[in-house]
Structure 1
Amino acid sequence: MYQRILVTTDGSALSKKAVRSAIDLAAATGASLVALNVVPRYPISYFEGGVSISSEDVGRIEKKWAEDGQAIVNAVEKTAQTAGVKVKTAITRSDFVAEAIMAAARKHRCDLIVMASHGRKGIKRLLLGSETQHVLTHSSVPVLVLR
């Protein structure tokens, strides 16, 4: 059925639910798992002209975010290994989360993407957009969305 499943996680409660489901599915199908966390870049442009922030501070903040992302995928790795699932972790830095997810699926030759939907509705969804929706509508790889 599935050979390699990409699961995206940001460490939120809903994404942890998606991780658990991805691990269960991988265990049931004999698939391996790729746990992905997308780390955003620091939004310097938001502060141009108003707040002075040094490149060292930006570097420190981005490093902290990357360390937090690594801790998140390390926790997935530990849980998957406990369930007997072969797992690889991946961290990528990008402001374009959906594109980074789809690129990771191609890079790791995944045949399924599992991700959570944050369940935004109405005007919030319209204004904020939806990374999940973008992956659903643009991915060449099947996508399983959990709520």
Structure 2
Amino acid sequence: MYKRILVPTDGSPLSKKAVRGAIDLAAAVGAEVVALNVVPRYPMSYFEGAVVASPKEVARVEKQWQEHGQSLADDVAAAAQKAGVTARAVTARSDLVAEAILAAARKNKCDLVVMASHGRKGIKRLLLGSETQHVLTHGQVPVLVLR
């Protein structure tokens, strides 16, 4: 059925639900799990141009974000391995989360993406957008959405 399942995580309670679902599904079908965290490229300010950060400070923040993102992905891989599922942890650097998820699915040859969704409707959905919706509509790989 599925051989490699990509599960993006940001460490939130909702993404943890998707992680549990992905690990359970992988265990049931004998698939590998690829845990992904998307790390922003550089610090953004609410008032673009209002605060100037030195290159050293930007590098420090980027390193901190990378380490935190890798830690989140490593935690998912460890949970999968504890459940007897082969897993690996990866990070991607991008400010476009959905695009990074789609690229990771292609790069890692995943045949399923398991994601969570807030299930927003109406105006909230229009205003807040949805990374899950973007992955669903622009991807070439099946997506299992958990709420």
> Above 0.5 in TM-score?
yes
Distance in 2 of aligned mates of 1:114 and 1:9: 10
Note the C-alpha offset of 1:48: 4.0
Residue 76 of structure 2 is matched in structure 1 by: 76
Q: Encode CA deviations 1:105-146: one digit per residue, 9 max, x unaligned.
A: 111111100011133343332122111100000110000011
TM-score, normalising length: structure 1: 0.93
| 1:33 is aligned to 2:33 | yes
Distance in 1 of aligned mates of 2:63 and 2:56: 10
Q: Alignment partner of 1:81: what SS?
A: helix
Distance in 2 of aligned mates of 1:43 and 1:123: 29
Contact between 2:43 and 2:62, CA under 8 Å: does it hold in 1?
A: no
Structure 1 gap segments, 5+ residues each: none
| 1:2 is aligned to 2:9 | no
Distance in 2 of aligned mates of 1:18 and 1:85: 15
Contact between 2:36 and 2:89, CA under 8 Å: does it hold in 1?
A: yes
Structure 2 gap segments, 5+ residues each: none
Q: Percent identity?
A: 71
Note the C-alpha offset of 1:61: 1.1
Residue 97 of structure 1 is matched in structure 2 by: 97
Note the C-alpha offset of 1:18: 0.3
1:20 alignment partner AA:
R
Distance in 2 of aligned mates of 1:73 and 1:120: 26
Residue 61 of structure 1 is matched in structure 2 by: 61
Distance in 2 of aligned mates of 1:47 and 1:85: 45
Note the C-alpha offset of 1:44: 4.2
Aligned length, in residue pairs: 147
Q: Alignment partner of 2:88: what SS?
A: strand
> Over aligned residue pairs, what C-alpha RMSD do you find?
1.4
Residue 118 of structure 2 is matched in structure 1 by: 118
2:93 alignment partner AA:
R
TM-score, normalising length: structure 2: 0.93
